[in-house]
Structure 1
Amino acid sequence: MASSEEDGTNGASEAGDEKEVTRKRRRLGFLATAWLTFYNIAMTAGWLVLAIAMVRFYVEKGTHRGLYKSIQKTLKFFQTFALLEVVHCLIGIVPTSVLVTGVQVSSRIFMVWLVTHSVKPIQNEESVVLFLVSWTVTEITRYSFYTFSLLDHLPHFIKWARYNFFIILYPVGVAGELLTIYAALPYVKKSGMFSVRLPNKYNVSFDYYYFLLITMASYIPLFPQLYFHMLRQRRKVLHGEVIVEKDD
């Protein structure tokens, strides 16, 4: 799910346990920590540039129409650059599941490249603005959180924002993504985009229209699980509650 947030990625502890952060930092080593710090600073700056560009466009134009086209290069670059987070997990400098991180990053890239970029008529939909604003605020908060954590100097406001902004931004982002995919359905069905029809020499078929429908349906079980997981993390970090996970 594209709007979901990773836990413990980029070398910073989500639990805010300073001793645990220090222990992990020593294990990472200087070069890994330096790289992760640079990466998170760069990503924070990139999403800040995107935010400024969005605000400037709206102030100058007074409309959201044309907004995506004006910021798409920056969005595509920094969102695709996030694939490095999968590499971080693979080489072990970030203690997070490769599978979880891969799904989260790839779902964002899917929304950018295979939905919004590919189905150009939907780029002026208001739903695109919904997920753009949600993603941008979320990523500025998330990457700045990781940056300050790696520097062992985490301001209270950044920590507070990390565990409060998502309460609104996560549902808004998910709504924007779903509405954008829904808006793309008629164009995909009419054009046959990315679909493979029979007969063909490989004797396989693929219908991108139904793939999008399945993708939308997958939000139903995934969203509540991820959202309530973040709420549990919030209680643990901000209020010191001990969360006991029940075995299924």
Structure 2
Amino acid sequence: MAGFMPLCLSTTFSKFSFRLAYSFSYNLFQFCGHTWILANTVARFLMFGQDALADTFYSVGFVMSLCQLLSILELFHIADGIEKARLLPRFIQVMEKNLLLIMIIMLEELQSKPVVCVQLFFWNVLDLLRYPHELLCVMDTPSSTMLWTRYTLWIPLYILTVIVEAATIYQALPYAEQTASQSCPLNSTTAPNSHLPVVLALYLPVLTLGASLTVGQLLKERHHHLEKWNRKRK
């Protein structure tokens, strides 16, 4: 019995250390990835002006896709208790980003449009406001400034991001219709791209509903975290 207790404590400590190291590594990777994307996008625009818009997605698309694909892990982080957050708003955010990214990849003509660069800019700004806060929380050194940025400034920026997402979908509709007409020249409805315009049109109200639910959940989360922080300071 005397030897069993140290063994249990050692196992628990090892598990805790692994979760801590994993959480820190994940958030650091996402922070570095989004920092590189944003720096690359801004630098290209400053150097080449509007000419950089044509191939910005080609330049940063792979890293962006990798970061967004890995963001699906955050749903498991919340479910497993690695991250303390509400599952529903994170699920909506992760899915809307990944679905829109898939749409942009499918519609190559859309990739050179300015709205895509604006979309990438807002996505990365949002993530760069979130991951530093997560890193500080993992290191148990939370900052009041980062807390306010994460749960207050983040919400209006998220609303702007959703507006840009809606604009991206709206601009994608003509290209989706063109792709659908080219993929089914014999008026076949079995082609994978034939229903893409309808799917995008239906996705707009779904995006609005999802964003409304997310904002409501984020406001509750903001109230909870700020109230918890104020109690700690007293």
Q: Would you call these one fold, judging by a TM-score over 0.5? A: yes
C-alpha distance after superposition, 1:77-132 (max 9, x if no partner): 2111222223435655446676764443232111112x111111112323223321
Task: Report which of the two has the higher share of helix.
Answer: 2
Aligned in 2, Cα 1:93/1:164: closer, same or farther, shift over 3 Å? closer
Q: Which residue in 2 is equivalent to 1:22?
A: none
**1:61 corresponds to which letter in structure 2?**
F
State the one-letter code of the partner of 1:69: Y
Contact 2:88 2:214 in 1 (8 A): no
1:11 aligns with: none
Q: Secondary structure at 1:104's aligned position in 2?
A: helix
> Highest Rg: 1 or 2?
2
Deviation at 1:193, TM superposition (A): 7.8
* Alpha-carbon distance in structure 1 between the residues aligned to 2:223 and 2:87: 25
Tell me whether 1:71 sits opposite 2:60 in the alignment.
yes
Q: Would the alpha carbon gap of residues 163 and 98 (structure 1) be closer, same or farther in structure 2, given more than 3 Å must change?
A: closer
Return the letter of the residue paired with 2:117: V
Gaps of 5+ in 2: 1-11, 230-234
CA RMSD of aligned residues (A): 3.3
Aligned to 2:25, which of 38, 42, 45? Answer: 38
Partner of 2:215: 227
2: CA distance, partners of 1:51 / 1:138:
11
Residue number in structure 1 paired with 2:113: 125
Cα gap change, 1:195/1:156 in structure 2, threshold over 3 Å: closer, same or farther?
farther
SS class of match (2:53): coil
Q: Given residue 42 of structure 1, which amino acid in structure 2 is its aligned partner?
A: F
Instruction: Provide the identity percentage.
Output: 21
> Which amino acid in structure 1 is aligned with residue 164 of structure 2?
G
Q: 2:206 aligns with which of 218, 224, 239?
A: 218
Corresponding residue of 1:7:
none
1:148 to 124, 136, 140: 136
* Residue equivalent to 1:15: none
| Counterpart Cα distance in 2 of 1:36 and 1:223 | 27
Residue 85 (structure 1) aligned to one of 74, 85, 94: 74
Pair 94,237 (structure 1): closer, same or farther in 2 beyond 3 Å = closer
Instruction: State whether residues 181 and 194 of structure 2, in contact with CA within 8 Å, keep that contact through their aligned partners in structure 1.
Output: no
Structure 2-normalised TM-score?
0.77
| Structure 1 portions without partners, runs of 5+ | 1-24, 242-248
- What corresponds to 2:16 in structure 1? 29
Residue 244 (structure 1) aligns with: none
The 1:148–1:195 alpha-carbon spacing in structure 2 relative to 1, beyond 3 Å, is farther
Cα separation, 2, equivalents of 1:103 and 1:220: 11
Q: Which amino acid aligns with 1:33?
A: L
